[in-house]
Amino acid sequence: MTADAPRRVALVADAGRYVGPSLVRELARRGHDLVISNPADGLVAEVEGLGSEVVVVDRAHNLARPESAPALVDAALERFGQLDAAVAFTGSIIGGRFTKSSIDDLRKLVEGCLEAPYHFLKAVTAPMIEAGSGQVLLMTSAAGARPVPGAPLYSSVRAGATMLAKNVADEIAPTGVQVNALGTNFMDFPEFHDAVGSHDPEVRKLVEAQVPMRRMGTVEECAAFAMAFLDGTSGFTTGQFVAYAGGWA
C-alpha cells in the first residue's frame, strides 16, 4: 500500500474471542480499517490508536444467523465503499464417540460449522466478485484433515466446511477473488481447554504430548500467519487449506 493509495478494509466477524482480537490487531498494524462485531473490551480504542477506523456492528458475530454476515458486509460498503478482506471462524467443539452421538449433536455442528461458513462466504464474496478482487479466509479446523478419535462428527463437519471453501475458491477464481482455509488445532484458548479438559495441568501435558511440536499454539502467532491470506501482499494463492496444528496434520 503506497502513501496515496486508499486504505484497505477488512472484516473480522467475531472480534471478542479465540483469534479474533489478535486478527484485528494485526490488520490494524498493517494499515486496515475494520468492520467487526463483538469486540473484546478495550479493543476498539486500542486499534483506533494504531490509526484504524473501526465500525462495530452489534450482535452480528453469530454467523449461523442468516442476517449476520450481510449486516457486516453492508456496514463495510456503507462506510467505506469497499471490502478487501474478510475472515471468520465459527462453530463449537462437540466430542464423544460416534456410537454415543445423537442427531442433535450433528445438527448443532452443522449449524455452527457448516451453515455459518455458507452464510459468510455467500455474503463476503458477492461485493468482492463485483469489484474484481478480495481475500477471504475461512478458519476451520485441522480436525477436518484426518480422522479424529473422540470427535468424529466434529471432524466430518469441519472437513465439509474446508471443502466448501475450496469449491467456492475454484468457482470464483477467474474473478480475482481469493478464498483459502486455515485449519487450527491444539490452540491455547479457553474453549479448547473446556472441550478437552486441559485447564488441568496434567491433562494439558497429555494433550501437548499428541502434538509433534510438544506445545499448543498461541492466538497471536496464528493471527500473524493468517496475514499472508488477508493483508493484500500475496495475490496468487487460492483454494488452499493449511493445517495450523504444530505438525499434527
Q: What is the pLDDT of residues 51-103, one digit of tens each?
A: 999 999 999 999 999 999 999 999 999 999 999 999 999 998 888 999 999 99
CA trace torsion 88, 90, 93, 94 (10° rounding): -160
Mean pLDDT within 102-112: 97
As a whole number of angstroms, the distance between CA 178 and CA 211 comes to 30
Residue 192 binned pLDDT confidence (cut-offs 50, 70, 90):
confident
User: Domains, the chain, ranges and CATH?
Assistant: 8-189+218-244 (3.40.50.720)
Higher-confidence residue of 191 and 26: namely 26
Q: Quote the crossing angle between the two packed helices 152-172 and 116-131, to the nearest 10°.
A: 10
Answer yes or no: is pLDDT of 108 > 60.
Answer: yes
Mean pLDDT within 135-154: 96
pTM value > 0.75: yes
Answer yes or no: is pLDDT of 204 > 90.
Answer: yes
pLDDT attached to residue 31: 97
As a whole number of angstroms, the distance between CA 50 and CA 225 comes to 20
Kindly state the percentage of the chain with pLDDT values over 90: 91
pLDDT attached to residue 189: 87
Mean pLDDT of the residues in the chain: 95
Mean pLDDT within 210-218: 95
Higher-confidence residue of 4 and 239: namely 239
As a whole number of angstroms, the distance between CA 165 and CA 207 comes to 29
pLDDT attached to residue 53: 98
Kindly state the percentage of the chain with pLDDT values over 70: 98
Collect contacts of 50-53 with beta carbons under 8 A, ≥24 apart. Answer: 50/25, 52/27, 52/28, 53/7, 53/79, 53/80
Residue 3 binned pLDDT confidence (cut-offs 50, 70, 90):
low
Find where cell 452421538 sits.
101
Answer yes or no: is pLDDT of 154 > 60.
Answer: yes
